[in-house]
Chain A
Amino acid sequence: MTTSIERVSAAPLGQADIDREMAELRRTADAAGNGAPAPLHPSRDYPPYRSSVLRHPKQPLVVVRDPEAVELTGPVFGVTDVTDLDSDLTRQHVGEPLGERITVTGRVLDRQGRPVRGQLVEIWQANASGRYAHQRDQHPAPLDPNFTGVGRCLTDDEGRYHFTTIKPGPYPWRNHLNAWRPAHIHFSLFGTAFTQRLVTQMYFPGDPLFSFDPIYQSITDERARERLIATYDHDQSSPEWSLGYRWDIVLDGPAATWIEEGRS
Chain B
Amino acid sequence: MSLLANQSASSRFVWPEWATLPLVGGGLVIFAWVIVGLTVTSWAPFDPVKLAGMRFQAPSMEHWLGTDSLGRDVLSRTLYGVRHSFPIAVFVIGCAVVIGCTLGAIAGYVGGWLDGVIMRFVDITLSFPPILLAMAVTASLGPGLGNAAIAMVIVWWPIYARLMRAQVLSVRQREHVEAAVASGATRSRVLIKHILPLCWSPIIVNATMDFGQVVLLAASLSFIGLGAVPPTPEWGQMISEGAVQFYRWWIALGPGVAILSIVLASNFLGDGLRDYLDPRAA
Task: Please say whether chains A and B are actual partners in one complex.
Answer: no
Q: Which residues of A contact B (CB under 8 A)?
A: none
